[in-house]
Structure 1
Amino acid sequence: MPELRRDLISYQWIITGTQSEEEFFSSLNPKPKEAGVECFFCEGNETKTLPEIYSIRKFDTRPNTPGWQVRVVPSKAAVFTIEGDVGKVGRGIYDMMNNIGAHELIIESPKHIKNIAELPPEQILLVLKVYQTRLRDLNKDERLKYALIFKNQRPKSPVRYGHTHSQLAALPLTPKAVKDELISAKNYFSYKERCLFCDIIHQEQRDKKRIVEENPDYISFVPFAAKFPFELSIMPKKHNADFRAESESSLKNLAQILKISLSKISLVLNDPPLNYILHTIPYMRPKPEYWKTIHSDFHWHIEIYPQISEITGFERGSGCYIQPLLPEICAKLLLDK
């Protein structure tokens, strides 16, 4: 069974043991995919995935049959297992726990479309509503502390992996990258009594150099200190720490700006592979007082990272990223599309 182990130096939790030796070395030299391989995610192939957890579908259709609009299924390559106890223990000076959690695939369209930006805004709205539903449902599991929604978009992937989908990973811990953001926001609020993210939005609106798209509810911009070329942040203009609390009217505008932002990246970079990540508040247990100002100091957001360059040894060793293009140049190129 896979395990979660904590590195004492970086204080990061590492997931280890998800593959056997044979599986690992096979993945280094994958067999070429045959032409005409069917996609398990397309409508009509419902029996070729694991049984669905949730779906938005036509009124008179049954689970695991055609007629759905957005469908959620467990991942066959799940990083986490939903059964069992967390079992956090010490092994000498090291901490470890069982790999308890959930790993779900959110299939965003019954049609074989590779890029979510090709979906109409009303379909993207359904995807966002499913995000909310799954985040709320997993909050009922007392073992879980954080749920991360993310996308690994690979438009040029083999057929069965290219169908547009995102993933949800629910963990028995708050990941270090998220906790670092939470602590940074908390410290900023303690010092200035203002939300760090709200201040960033106001600064970007004053500077007018890095904004790519804006609507009544949301802003999309290249961060001032972007780590990667054409990196984007999407934030709600109205302060809100919890994505689950967004109204349907707000989500409509989020669907619009997400589609436009991703479309611009596709046009400028010729449909590159990318990741996007949704950071919202953790499930606040067992110590809700630890985050007592979180609804005032944190601000949920989406981070978009086109994968067009590799991380160098210097960047890995120093934590200092080299961004070849000025963020202002990236923003202008995106804005012009």
Structure 2
Amino acid sequence: MERRIQELRWDPVLGEWVMVSSIREARPWQPEGFCPFCPGAPETGYGWDALILRNRYPMLSDTPLEPGKHVFYRTAPSYGRCWVVIETPIHDLDDISDLPVEHIARVLNLVVDKYREEKQDKRLAYFLFFRNKGREIGVSLTHPHSQIYVLPFVPVRVQREIENARRYYSESKECLFCRIIGEEEKERVRIVYDSSDWVAFIPFYAHWPFEVHIYPRRHVGELTDLTSDEVAALAHVLKTVLCGLNRVLGKPMPYTMVLHQNPMHTRYPFYHLHIEIYGMYRTTGKLKYAAGMETGGGNFTYDSTPEYVAELLRKAIRENKCGHM
């Protein structure tokens, strides 16, 4: 039998960590007839409207397996924690946007509380909250849920954002992200929805076809900086934007949603919390794949324009009265 492996492996060519876990092979894949996230399952029980559970098939663990030893290659223990956020007892709900705003706010507050708890562990570096939606992108369980990875390193994409924001701040003495918000509000052609606390737009430099970024207007670095009113307002913006994404093409949109914020124990004054949603369908309704240019070359291609896609999404939000359902 192949040895179980759970470790971090350093890629010396790209300069980034790869998480390796043979434990993940055992996880259920879109099972029929039984859902481990439904009420009454062994780990869920009854009497809840949302809850956070340990991932039974984690990429990271607070008791990780001993990493392998190599002459040249570098490894490290995959210390960390993986959580599943079960957003509702309702199994056949299409998306979290179908829930009331108050319920979405409760889910978000559970995540904020978990972040506050995980910050006590000084061995961990980053709290990554994310949501994968749709069988098309390989979701293993379709019951509405999101996930949390509490990592011993800062994800490379976030680290790249930090370095560019640091450079811009040193040159201009202003937050790069605040400047982006200002430019989007000035032009307004890519904004899809905004409120007094939040602004949602398709970036000028969008990579994915229906990519939406959501920023707090106030300069905020991490989840625990948000007020209760800002969390409630974020719930409304999420419901509105995701409703629009699921209706813009007349069928549910597969997407990935990720929260970017400061590392857990470092506060960068030039970094700005935000959410990125990567809607995977092109305007034709066909799936966008990260293929040769994107995966092999590392640079994305965009088959439409962010301005046109923003117009489509604004129209879908308006005509479907998203956020008022």
TM-score interval for Structure 1 and Structure 2 normalised by the shorter chain: 0.7 to 0.9
The 3-state SS of whatever aligns with 2:210 is: coil
- The 5 Å alignment of 1:276-287 reads 276-284=257-265
Alpha-carbon deviation of 1:93?
A: 4.0
Deviations 1:234-272 (A, max 9, x none): 000011111221011111110000110001000013102
1:204 corresponds in structure 2 to 184
CA distance in 1, matches of 2:141, 2:83: 15
User: C-alpha offsets along residues 158-186 of structure 1, whole Å, 9 cap, x if unaligned?
Assistant: 99811111000011111111111111111
The answer for the alignment partner of 1:304 in structure 2 is 277
Aligned mates of 1:215, 1:201 — CA distance in 2: 13
Unaligned stretches of 5+ residues in structure 1: 50-63
Residue 218 of structure 1 and its aligned partner are, at CA, apart by: 0.2
Conservation of the 8 A alpha-carbon contact between 1:80 and 1:101: yes
Q: Take 2:139 and 2:177, find their aligned partners in 1: how far apart are those partners?
A: 39
Q: Is the 8 A contact 1:40 1:160 kept in 2?
A: no
In 1, Cα distance between equivalents of 2:274 and 2:47: 32
Indicate the SS of the match to 2:311. Answer: helix
One-letter code aligned to 2:195: N
Q: Does 1:103 align with 2:99?
A: no
- CA spacing shift, 1:88–1:75, aligned 2, 3 Å: closer
Q: Choose the corresponding residue for 2:36, options 36, 40, 44.
A: 40
Q: Does 1:336 align with 2:309?
A: no
Tell me the C-alpha RMSD between the 2 structures. 2.5
Indicate conservation of the 8 Å contact 1:115/1:155, yes or no: no
Indicate which of 54, 73, 77 corresponds to 1:94.
73
Q: Report if aligned partners of 1:155, 1:272 keep a CA contact under 8 Å in 2.
A: no
Deviations 1:281-330 (A, max 9, x none): 1122xxx5xx6xx1x20000000011231112122222221111100010
Report the Cα offset of residue 65 of structure 1. Answer: 3.5
Equivalence for 1:326:
305
Task: Give the Cα–Cα distance (whole angstroms) in 2 for the partners of residues 195 and 90 of structure 1.
Answer: 42
Matched, 1:231 2:208: no
Aligned to 2:256: 275
Distance 1:232 1:157, change over 3 A: closer
Residue matched to 1:82: 62
Uncovered stretches (5+) of structure 2, i.e. residues with no partner:
282-287, 317-325
Q: Is the CA contact (8 Å cut-off) linking 2:23 and 2:59 kept in structure 1? A: no
| Residue deviations 1:126-162 (CA, integer Å, cap 9, x gap) | 0110111111111111211111000011267999811
Deviation at 1:12, TM superposition (A): 1.2
AA partner of residue 228 (structure 1) = W
Rounded Cα–Cα distance in structure 2 between residues aligned with 1:279 and 1:88? 28
CA distance in 1, matches of 2:40, 2:146: 20
> Aligned partners of 1:321 and 1:159: how far apart in 2?
23
Q: CA deviation at 1:66?
A: 1.5
Instruction: Report the AA paired with residue 255 of structure 2.
Output: L
TM-score by length of 2: 0.87
Conserved 8 A contact 1:188-1:196? yes
